[in-house]
Structure 1
Amino acid sequence: MLQYKRILLKLSGEALAGDEGYGIDARMVDRYAEEIKKALELGAEIALVIGGGNIFRGLSSAAATMDRVQADHMGMLATVINSLAFQDALERKGVFTRLMSAIKMEQVAEPFIRRRAIRHLEKGRVVIFGGGTGNPYFTTDTAASLRAVEIEADVIVKGTRVDGVYSSDPEKNPAAEMYRNISYIDVLKKNLRVMDLTAITLCRENLLPIVVMNMNVEGNFVRLLNGETVGTLVNQGEE
């Protein structure tokens, strides 16, 4: 029996860029798509939210002189580009998908309708949520939390390039401590960069657990679903 049945997988745009740091690395997209296919074969229901930082980030230096709303809309469109790339990779592996956008663009994506999204999941389709929340000033972390709550997901899995949540950046501080379990409130108190404040608060209010794990380790996603301890679990803890 799966530890989690319905999962919202959050990937950063940078994850799709691979070692290049920008654009879309087809090998990375293919690797992630293969992990998702294996999880589907176990009987999991999977939804995806992908960031757009590999193409454009509303808070980047490039956007510093721009109107914030305009810059955030550009970031939302970047997430749709990434979503289309991921949809293509999944479908080339025989996985049925639906791309749903918070911004209307009927030629390439369905509009987000909660009940329709849930029905797609029940039919075994991977649902990719593009366009963020459709509103400026909200990150894709918040979009992931919002969609996860709406589709009644069992967990948010944040796929990163590190093994979990650390006391400080493990890529800069080799002595950083990794947590196996931490509460929402401790994440907020310690100002740990798990997800942004709004996303963590939304998960806390709805008792939605978050697992932060290294998506670049082959098989990690499947091991997590099979009940193995992978990454860091963020939940209510001892609040």
Structure 2
Amino acid sequence: MKYKRILLKLSGESLMGDKQYGIDSDRVLQYARDIKAVFDKGIEIAIVIGGGNIFRGLSAEKSGMDRVQADYMGMLATVINSMALQDALEKLSVKTRLMTAIKMEQICEPFIRRRAVRHLEKRRIVIFGAGTGNPYFTTDTCASLRAIEVQADVVLKGTRVDGIYTADPEKFPEAVKYDEITFQEVYDRGLNVMDMTAFTLCQENKLPIIVFDMNKPGNFMRIANGDTIGTLVRG
């Protein structure tokens, strides 16, 4: 397999499936099966999930809510999603640990970097919830930060689009997909891959990012095998 340790970033919206909001249990189970297949190959996997299917802090701020309050509510939404994926994985007999940046002792462990690394080494999938624990930071930033902290080989950003395009392919059918692109080219062309804090963290730490379509079963395994799918962002 190409990678030893992977950080998988999933958006909260991806868990909705065909629903308008909330969690689609069929979609979560599909993700769990794909993750287990890669995990069974011996790859260590850490996961960060967004919370946009339940609550979006930025949207709430626009309607008048205090931004800090809204961001903390968004962090709690990520924990709900993390628990849903944890449950699906454990139903497939995969050992997991949920670690959060906000203490919730009854349902998860507090994030401690050395403990997280030890869990990965002991063949447990680690799910990081509650973002960084700080307002004004996205779950993309959390994914980049945790990947660096646990020394992951790559950040895999699973989306509903099969890579990075010159424009939004859902709005502009003529948009062209990049197979590979540098961090600097993403800056120069103003492409929306991750928020700038997350993206800069990866660039400064020479951590590659692959954007791919997680909704297609088997894609996660193909990337783990080293197949060229999605878009690779490198230094």
Moved over 3 A (4+): none
Residue 13 (structure 1) aligns with: 12
Q: Report Cα offsets for 1:170-196 as digits up to 9, x if no partner.
A: 011111010011111111222211111
After TM superposition, the structure 1 stretch with the greater mean CA deviation from structure 2, 215-224 or 183-192, is 183-192
Report the Cα distance in structure 2 between the residues aligned to 1:53 and 1:18, rounded to whole angstroms.
13
Residue 142 (structure 1) aligns with: 141
User: What TM-score results when the alignment is normalised by the length of structure 2?
Assistant: 0.98
1:62 Cα deviation (Å)?
Answer: 6.8
**CA contact 2:60–2:70 (8 Å) conserved in 1:** no
Report the Cα distance in structure 1 between the residues aligned to 2:59 and 2:123, rounded to whole angstroms.
37
Report the Cα distance in structure 2 between the residues aligned to 1:142 and 1:64, rounded to whole angstroms.
24
Q: What are the equivalent positions in structure 2 for 1:86-235 lying under 5 Å apart?
A: 86-235=85-234
**CA contact 1:57–1:63 (8 Å) conserved in 2:** no
**CA contact 2:214–2:220 (8 Å) conserved in 1:** yes
**CA contact 2:180–2:233 (8 Å) conserved in 1:** yes
**CA contact 2:32–2:89 (8 Å) conserved in 1:** yes
Instruction: Tell me which amino acid in the other structure corresponds to 1:41.
Output: D
Report the Cα distance in structure 2 between the residues aligned to 1:132 and 1:62, rounded to whole angstroms.
18
Q: Report Cα offsets for 1:109-167 as digits up to 9, x if no partner.
A: 10000010001001111000000000000000000000000000000000011110001
1:20 Cα deviation (Å)?
Answer: 1.0
SS of corresponding position for 1:171:
coil
Gaps of 5+ in 2: none
Instruction: Tell me which amino acid in the other structure corresponds to 1:50.
Output: I
Report the Cα distance in structure 2 between the residues aligned to 1:166 and 1:31, rounded to whole angstroms.
26
SS of corresponding position for 2:58:
coil
RMSD of aligned C-alpha atoms? 0.9
Report the Cα distance in structure 2 between the residues aligned to 1:61 and 1:119, rounded to whole angstroms.
37
**CA contact 1:188–1:197 (8 Å) conserved in 2:** no
Instruction: Tell me which amino acid in the other structure corresponds to 1:115.
Output: R
1:21 Cα deviation (Å)?
Answer: 2.9
Percent identity between the two aligned chains: 66
- C-alpha change, 1:63 and 1:86, in structure 2 (3 Å) is farther
Report the Cα distance in structure 1 between the residues aligned to 2:67 and 2:233, rounded to whole angstroms.
31
1:26 aligned to 2:19? no
Report the Cα distance in structure 2 between the residues aligned to 1:207 and 1:170, rounded to whole angstroms.
28
User: What TM-score results when the alignment is normalised by the length of structure 1?
Assistant: 0.97
- C-alpha change, 1:61 and 1:131, in structure 2 (3 Å) is closer
1:63 Cα deviation (Å)?
Answer: 5.3
